C-alpha cells in the first residue's frame, strides 16, 4: 500500500469522485479534484495527467483496492464512476501488505506493555488484534532500552493528553538542589533523551520555554485555565543546533566542534553519527566535525568516549574536557601510587 502522503491524498480525492453518482468526472475533472485536495493539505497543486492515470491503475490493481471502475462514454469523452454505488476504498478490508505492516506495528508498540502510564496500550493492542484477527505474538523478538524504575514515567500519559488537548497545567517541581516550585505550564512537546523524558512548554512565571525532566515533577494538575498556543518555538528544528535537550544561553554561539577518534571507535562514529551535522574532515585520521552550540550533553558525550576521542577544537571545549579528565585522574592517582608503594 502507498506510503507517500501526496499519493494517499490523491487516492482519497479520486475515491470521492468515483463515488459521486450525481456528477460526471472526466479526466480533466479528476486532475482538478486531485490538485485541489493537494493544495488544501500541502499548499501545492501540481498534478499531471500521467500521475492520475498511474493512480487509477494502482487503485484497480490487487496491490491497491481492486476498485470496480467503469469508463463510460459521453460522446467522444469518457467519464469515470464506480460500478457499485456503495463501493469505497474506505470500506475495504486491509490488504495482506497492510496486515503485515499492522502486525509489525503492534509488535513494536507491544514492547511498552506493562510500563507505568502505558496501561492504555493493553486496550489498544487487544482491540487491534481482535478487530483485524491478528494472532498475538507470544515470543519477544524486539526490545527497546527501558528504565522501568525511572521516576516520573507515570506522568507521561497525562502530559501527552494535556499537550494534545491543549490543557493548561499546574506543575509541582522539585529541582536536584531540593528547591520546590509551583508553575503554570502550557505543555507543547515531549522528548526522550538518554532514556529520560522531558516536557517542553511555556512557563507562565518566566514567559519563556521551560525544559522539565519528568523525574523531577512531583504533582500535575489539569486546569480549566485558558491555554496559550505555541507561538514561540518550532520543535521540528528546535534541537537542530544542540546535542540532547538543553538549550544554552543565547550568548553561546554555534561552533564547529572538531573531534579525532581512534581507529577502534571511528567506524562506529561513521555508522552512528553523533549529530546530524556531522561531516568527515579526515577519514584516514578519524577526524570529524559537527556544528552545535556547546552544552552539558555535548560535554558528557565527549567524556563518555574516554581515551578514544580527542577534542581538537575549539580551544574552550578542549580545555574544559582536559580539566575534567585531570579532576578525574586525581581520584585514581593516589590509589595507583599506594599500589606501587606496596610492591
Nearest Cα neighbor of 182 from 194, 192, 191, 170 is: 170
Contacts of range 285-291, beta carbons closer than 8 Å, 24 or more positions apart: 285/260, 286/260, 286/261, 286/262, 287/258, 287/259, 287/260, 287/261, 287/312, 288/258, 288/259, 288/261, 289/256, 289/257, 289/258, 289/259, 290/256, 290/257, 290/259, 291/241, 291/254, 291/255, 291/256, 291/257
Mean pLDDT of the 91-100 span: 71
Q: Is the pLDDT of residue 1 over 90?
A: no
Q: Where are the alpha helices (DSSP H) in 144-253?
A: 156-165
Give the pLDDT confidence of 122-141 residue by residue, as tens digits: 666 666 665 666 665 556 65
Sign of CA dihedral 20, 24, 27, 31: negative
Phi-psi region at 24: left, alpha or beta (left = phi > 0; alpha = psi -120 to 50): beta
pLDDT at 122: 61
Segments making up each domain of the chain, as ranges: 5-91, 96-131, 153-222, 255-331
Mean pLDDT of the 45-64 span: 91
Instruction: Tell me if residue 326 falls in helix, strand or coil.
Output: helix
Place of cell 509551583: 182
Residue 109 — very low, low, confident or very high, per pLDDT cuts 50/70/90? low
pLDDT at 141: 57
Q: Is the pLDDT of residue 2 over 70?
A: no
User: Is the distance from CB of 220 to CB of 208 less than 8 angstroms?
Assistant: no
- Residues facing 330 on adjacent strands: none
Measured CA to CA, the distance from residue 298 to residue 317 in angstroms comes to 10
**Domain 255-331: CATH class, spelled out:** alpha beta
Q: What's the CATH code, domain 5-91?
A: 1.10.10.10
Nearest Cα neighbor of 33 from 12, 9, 13, 61 is: 13
Candidate ranges 48-52, 111-115, 161-165; pick with highest mean pLDDT: 48-52
Q: Is the pLDDT of residue 120 over 60?
A: no
Nearest Cα neighbor of 111 from 129, 137, 150 is: 137
Say whether the peptide bond before residue 314 is cis (omega within 30 degrees of 0).
Answer: yes
Least confident of 84-93, 180-189, 246-255, 268-277: 84-93
Q: What's the CATH code, domain 153-222?
A: 2.30.30
DSSP 19-88: H-TTS-EEHHHHHHHHHHHHHHHHS-----HHHHHHHHHHHHSTTTT---EEEEEETTEEEEEESSTT--
The Cα-based distances of 230 to 186, 202, 226, 235, 338 in angstroms read 8, 8, 13, 10, 59
Measured CA to CA, the distance from residue 290 to residue 279 in angstroms comes to 6
pLDDT at 87: 94
Measured CA to CA, the distance from residue 179 to residue 12 in angstroms comes to 54
Would you state the torsion angle of the CA atoms of residues 241, 246, 250, 255, taken in this order, to the nearest 10 degrees? Answer: -40
Amino acid at each position: 500500500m502507498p506510503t507517500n502522503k501526496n499519493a494517499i491524498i490523491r487516492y482519497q480525492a479520486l475515491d470521492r469522485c468515483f463515488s459521486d453518482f450525481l456528477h460526471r468526472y472526466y479526466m480533466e475533472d479528476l486532475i482538478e479534484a486531485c490538485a485541489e485536495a493537494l493544495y488544501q493539505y500541502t499548499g501545492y497543486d501540481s498534478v499531471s495527467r500521467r500521475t492520475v492515470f498511474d493512480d487509477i491503475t494502482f487503485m484497480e490493481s490487487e496491490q491497491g483496492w481492486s476498485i470496480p471502475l467503469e469508463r463510460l462514454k459521453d460522446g467522444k469523452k469518457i467519464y469515470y464512476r464506480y460500478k457499485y454505488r456503495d463501493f469505497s476504498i474506505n470500506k475495504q478490508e486491509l490488504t495482506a501488505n497492510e496486515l503485515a505492516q499492522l502486525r509489525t506495528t503492534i509488535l513494536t508498540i507491544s514492547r511498552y506493555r506493562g510500563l507505568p502510564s502505558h496501561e492504555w496500550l493493553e486496550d489498544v493492542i487487544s482491540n487491534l488484534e481482535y478487530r483485524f484477527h491478528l494472532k498475538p505474538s507470544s515470543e519477544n523478538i524486539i526490545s527497546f532500552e527501558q528504565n522501568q524504575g525511572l521516576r516520573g514515567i507515570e506522568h507521561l500519559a497525562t502530559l501527552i493528553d494535556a499537550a494534545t488537548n491543549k490543557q493548561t497545567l499546574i506543575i509541582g517541581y522539585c529541582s536536584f538542589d531540593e528547591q520546590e516550585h509551583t508553575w503554570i505550564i502550557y505543555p507543547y512537546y515531549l522528548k526522550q533523551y538518554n532514556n529520560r523524558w522531558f516536557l517542553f512548554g511555556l512557563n507562565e512565571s518566566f514567559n519563556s520555554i521551560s525544559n522539565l525532566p519528568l523525574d523531577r515533577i512531583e504533582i500535575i494538575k489539569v486546569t480549566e485555565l485558558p491555554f496559550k498556543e505555541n507561538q514561540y518555538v518550532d520543535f521540528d528544528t528546535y534541537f537542530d543546533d544542540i546535542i540532547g535537550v538543553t538549550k544554552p544561553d543565547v550568548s553561546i554561539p554555534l561552533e564547529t566542534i572538531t573531534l579525532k577518534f581512534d581507529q577502534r571507535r571511528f567506524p562506529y562514529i561513521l555508522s552512528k553519527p553523533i549529530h546530524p551535522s556531522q561531516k568527515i574532515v579526515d577519514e584516514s585520521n578519524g577526524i570529524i566535525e559537527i556544528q552545535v552550540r556547546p552544552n552539558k550533553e555535548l560535554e558528557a558525550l565527549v567524556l563518555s568516549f574516554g581515551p578514544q576521542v580527542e577534542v581538537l577544537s575549539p580551544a574552550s571545549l578542549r580545555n574544559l574536557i582536559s580539566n575534567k579528565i585531570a579532576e578525574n585522574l586525581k581520584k585514581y592517582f593516589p590509589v595507583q601510587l599506594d599500589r606501587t608503594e606496596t610492591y
